[in-house]
Amino acid sequence: MSFSQSFRLALKSLRTSKMRSLLTMLGIIIGVASVIVIISLGDGMNNMINSEFEKMGANLLQVEVMSPSPSRTVKDEQMYALAQENPGLIAAVSPNVSVRATVKVGSETYSASVTGVGEDLPVIQSVELTQGRFLYYVDVDRMQNVCVIGAWIDQEAYNGAGLGQTLYINGYAYTVVGVVEASDPDSGPTSYNDNQVYIPYTNATRLNGNATITSYLFAATSDETNTRAKAAIESRLEQLLGDEDYYMVISMSEMMSIMGDITGTVMTVLVAIAGISLLVGGIGIMNIMLVSVTERTREIGIRKSLGAKHRDIRRQFIIEAGTTSAVGGVIGIALGTSLAKLVGPMVGIEAAASGVAIGVAFGVSVAVGVIFGYLPANKAAKLNPIDALRYD
């Protein structure tokens, strides 16, 4: 029995009894559509999380120090030295000093977050400038009153013309030397970077009343050196502080993989639930195939009388079941992708159904048809030709 004829016959019978076909395929359609929606939204969410992490620096190692006493602290020179001693592991380091400060332009106060950093921050995190420059070594070294501002502040306070203007941090005048690119053109100040004011960390410590620096950002040289860089930093901190309770090194790639694990688990559970619908769909196909075998007993008898073997009949019915579920799968994929496109923006996720997900969904739906079609097909194959021919 040729494959193409079985396939064509299956499509024909799907078309001639549309209502019945639709009901047969419903389980598959719903199952595949929900799997596609879940995977699309899940992948979209993963992409979003990853790009946020990426912005913060994929090879970022964040160090938090909790000094037990004023005598046992970590100094910025020590951290810079650490970086210099391990050029193969550490690409850059920057202190990270948050300042609780009011930011004023003219008489207007803006809710900005002021952070003192080193000149190498752009090596560690993505800081794309649209105008001007980032902080220089001399700015840090000489404690110059210069700052780099986020796009949102530039927009709000200066209408986009902030470069060279002055803003006041706790009353001190700072000159804007650079503007950071907006992470999202229309978003508010909430987006990372957009309401930042970067100043030299030396200025920041002074604004904080010469408090010791408790937070540093490191960049490992690559994905591969991440773990070793982390170990190097930890051993130095151990040496300086004497106890692992006094510091913490957070690796962004570790965080990313933890997040990935969590979303992966959630998605697996959801897909498994949707899979139940596929199972129900398979049973629906099996049911209708059993009916079809009974209805077509005579046809089976005729085919057998003309020389169809067991495997010919079995193959015909399996192809039919596979075609039915494949068509259901295609409808489900179409439904799922359009649903994901519709729902995605509502929950703020750009849905991304990967080709692999679509391919797998299609493959699974065909497999469901073939597996659940096997039993009815085998029943058809085993019919006795005379009984089948006599059947009305």
> Under the rule (CB under 8 A), what is the footprint of another protein?
1-2, 5, 9, 12-13, 298-299, 301-312, 385-386, 389
Q: Is residue 182 within 8 Å of residue 129, measured between CB atoms?
A: no
With 0-12 CB in 10 A as exposed, 13-18 as middle and 19+ as buried, what is 338? Answer: middle
Residue 162 or residue 301: which is nearer to another protein going by CB?
301
In this complex, which beta carbon is closest to another protein, that of residue 15 or of residue 72? 15
Q: Write down the least CB distance from residue 50 to another protein, Å.
A: 52
User: Measured from the CB atom, is 301 or 329 closer to another protein?
Assistant: 301
Per the CB < 8 A criterion, the answer to whether 100 and 161 are in contact is no
Residue nearer to another protein on the CB measure, 271 or 327:
327
Strand 172-180 to 146-149 pairing: parallel
Give the Cα separation of 284 and 287 in Å (integer): 5
Give 33: exposed, middle or buried? Use CB within 10 Å, 0-12, 13-18, 19+: buried
* Dihedral angle sign, alpha carbons of residues 41, 44, 48, 53: positive
Q: How many residues does the chain have?
A: 392
Residue 28 CB neighbour total at 10 angstroms = 32
Q: Minimum distance between the CB of residue 391 and another protein, rounded to whole angstroms?
A: 11
212 versus 297: smaller Cβ distance to another protein: 297
For the CB of residue 272, give the shortest distance to another protein in the complex, in Å: 39
Q: To 5 degrees, how large is the angle CA 163–CA 165–CA 170?
A: 120
3-state SS, 341-387, equals HHHHHHCCCCCCCCHHHHHHHHHHHHHHHHHHHHHHHHHHHCCCHHH
**Cβ 386 to another protein, closest distance in Å?**
5
* Shorter beta-carbon distance to another protein: residue 97 or 380: 380
Residue 220: beta bridge partners?
90
Which tokens go with 131? 């105008």
Q: Give least dist CB 6 to another protein, A.
A: 10
| 216 in Cβ contact with 93 (< 8 Å) | yes
CB of 363: closest distance to another protein in angstroms? 28
3-class SS of residue 9: helix
54 or 299: whose CB is closer to another protein?
299
CB of 7: closest distance to another protein in angstroms? 14
**Smallest distance from the beta carbon of 309 to another protein, in angstroms?**
4
Considering the complex, state which of residue 17 and residue 257 has its C-beta at the smaller distance from another protein: 17
For residues 37 and 357, what is the distance between their CA atoms, to the nearest angstrom?
Answer: 10
